[in-house]
C-alpha cells in the first residue's frame, strides 16, 4: 500500500462529500494563485455526484478551471450511463467553466479511437493539479481493472471486457493519473469494505498502482471502513 496515504474516516457519505469539496476548492485557489489554472480530473461512477452537486453552488474563479475525466464508458454521448452526462447535469452545466476548457472523452468513437485522441489531450494537460477517483468492489479505479494488461507508457488506455458494464471503456493510465499535485479517493458504502481491507493489507490492486509524489487523501465513510 502506498506508504503515505492519508485516510480520513467520516461518519457519513455526506460528510465525505463535504470534506472532499472543501479540499477541492482550497486546491483550486492554490493552483490558480500559483500558476493561473486549475486542472481537475473528475471521477466516474455514482459516489462523486454529491461532491459535484456541492461544487455547482460554489463561488470559484471558473474561468481558470480545466476539466478532464479519469475514464468514460463507450456509450453514445447522451447515454444516461455516461460519466460525462452525470458530471454535466450535477455540476458543469451549472457553472461558468468555458466549454473549451472541458475535455470530454469521445468514448462514443470506440475504445481505440477515443484513447488515441485523449492521449494527446492528457499529454498537453500534464501535470494535473487534482485527480478525483472512486474505487470499485474489486479494487478497480477509473477503468483500470484487476488482471487487465496495458502498455504502461500510455497516457490513455483502450479498455475491453470490463467486468463492470459496459465492457468497452477508455481510461487515463495509472502513470498519468499519478502525475498530479493532489489526489483524492472518494469511497463510501459497505460494499467497498472488502476492497478497502485488501488495499490496506497490501494487495496488488489497481488502486495501489496510483502513486503520486505527494500523499493521497482517501475520504471514506464508516460503512466502507470501520477500524
Q: Contact positions toward ligand 6PG, by CB under 6 A?
A: 43-47, 71, 73, 83, 134-136, 140-143, 164
Query: Nearest distance from residue 186's CB to ligand 6PG, in Å?
Result: 7
Q: From 160, 142, 159, 221, select the one nearest 188 (Cα to Cα).
A: 221
**52 versus 65: smaller Cβ distance to ligand 6PG:** 52
Query: Nearest distance from residue 220's CB to ligand 6PG, in Å?
Result: 12
Query: Nearest distance from residue 72's CB to ligand 6PG, in Å?
Result: 7
Strands (E), 62-216: 65-69, 71-73, 128-133, 156-159, 169-172, 180-187
Is residue 193 classed as helix, strand or coil in its secondary structure?
helix
Query: Nearest distance from residue 203's CB to ligand 6PG, in Å?
Result: 17
Q: Which residue has the cell 493519473?
A: 177
Neighbouring C-beta atoms of residue 4, cutoff 10 Å = 11
**33 versus 160: smaller Cβ distance to ligand 6PG:** 160
Calculate the alpha carbon distances from 225 to 29, 101, 143, 204, 219 in Å.
Answer: 30, 36, 23, 19, 10
**64 versus 108: smaller Cβ distance to ligand 6PG:** 108
**29 versus 164: smaller Cβ distance to ligand 6PG:** 164
What are the φ and ψ backbone dihedral angles of 23, each rounded to 5 degrees?
A: -70, -35
**140 versus 157: smaller Cβ distance to ligand 6PG:** 140
Query: Nearest distance from residue 35's CB to ligand 6PG, in Å?
Result: 27
Amino acid at each position: 500500500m502506498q506508504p503515505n496515504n492519508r485516510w480520513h474516516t467520516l461518519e457519513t457519505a455526506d460528510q465525505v462529500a463535504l470534506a472532499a469539496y472543501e479540499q477541492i476548492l482550497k486546491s483550486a485557489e492554490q493552483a490558480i494563485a500559483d500558476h493561473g489554472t486549475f486542472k481537475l480530473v473528475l471521477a466516474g461512477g455514482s459516489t462523486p455526484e454529491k461532491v459535484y452537486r456541492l461544487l455547482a453552488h460554489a463561488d470559484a474563479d471558473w474561468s481558470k478551471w480545466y476539466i478532464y475525466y479519469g475514464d468514460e464508458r463507450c456509450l453514445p454521448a447522451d447515454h444516461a450511463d455516461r460519466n460525462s452526462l452525470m458530471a454535466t447535469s450535477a455540476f458543469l452545466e451549472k457553472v461558468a467553466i468555458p466549454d473549451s476548457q472541458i475535455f470530454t472523452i469521445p468514448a462514443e468513437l470506440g475504445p481505440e479511437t477515443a484513447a488515441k485522441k485523449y492521449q494527446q489531450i492528457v499529454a498537453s494537460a500534464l501535470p494535473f493539479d487534482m485527480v478525483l477517483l472512486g474505487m470499485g468492489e474489486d479494487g478497480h479505479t477509473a477503468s483500470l481493472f484487476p488482471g487487465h494488461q496495458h502498455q504502461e507508457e500510455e497516457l490513455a488506455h483502450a479498455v475491453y471486457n470490463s467486468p463492470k458494464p459496459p465492457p468497452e471503456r477508455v481510461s487515463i493510465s495509472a502513470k498519468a493519473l499519478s502525475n498530479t499535485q493532489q489526489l483524492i479517493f472518494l469511497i463510501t458504502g459497505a460494499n467497498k469494505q472488502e476492497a478497502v481491507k485488501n488495499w490496506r493489507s497490501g494487495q496488488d490492486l489497481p488502486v495501489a498502482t496510483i502513486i503520486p509524489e505527494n500523499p493521497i487523501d482517501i475520504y471514506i465513510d464508516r460503512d466502507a471502513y470501520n477500524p
